[in-house]
Amino acid sequence: MSCNLALAGWAKDCETSMGGITEVYFAAYDQVEEVTVTENVISNIKMVEAAKFQKYYIRKGTGSMSTEGKFDQANGTKYYETNLAISFPKMRAANRIEVNALAANELVAIVKDANGVYWYLGFDNPLVVSAFSGNTGRAWTDANKYDLTAQDNALQSPYTIDPEFVATLLG
């Protein structure tokens, strides 16, 4: 049996490609009952009754998502590590409590990038917070913020989500 996948090529793309993320939504991993993938795009997410994804406001230029393939030919292993790095403005009690709640849970996330594409993290395994810091800044123009990094380890790089479907998932 061949392990090779068919190659399709890649045509020149003249469209703009913007960096960054514009929206992040989290839910608890155990609130997702089923995820349906149709033609390599998530077409349905069934959640437990009344569960919804919650929006977390981030400012422009304060979030990113990066995926790195981890391949070991000798051991015959491969997986994809995706890191979601976001900053939440203002160090204050309510924000600290919420960031600690995110860190305590196993999560799934929907991430909208600056090109309007929605991505799903937590497909194979829960998304977990891997780093956290709070920073008051030094100068008056420095950010006063919490930084959070969540990590997803999966068998495939992140799937996109049909944008028409996303609105049904949000609280």
The per-residue pLDDT for 16 is 80
**HSE value, Cβ hemisphere, 13 Å, CA-based, for 92:** 4
- Pairing of the two strands 41-47 and 159-161: parallel
- pTM for the structure as a whole: 0.89
Burial 53-86 (b: 16+ CB within 10 A, else e): beebebeeebbbbebeeeeeeeeeeebbebbbbb
pLDDT at 74 > cutoff 90? yes
CB 147 within 8 A of CB 135: yes
pLDDT at 6 > cutoff 80? no
What's the chain's Rg over C-alpha atoms? 18
The per-residue pLDDT for 82 is 98
Q: What share of the chain in percent tops pLDDT 70?
A: 97
The per-residue pLDDT for 164 is 86
Confidence of residue 1 (pLDDT cuts 50, 70, 90): low
| Structure letter (DSSP) for residue 170 | B
Tokens 């028409």 sit at which residue?
Answer: 164
Q: Which residues pair with 84 in a beta bridge?
A: 65, 150
CB 132 within 8 A of CB 99: yes
Q: Which residue has the higher pLDDT, 152 or 17?
A: 152
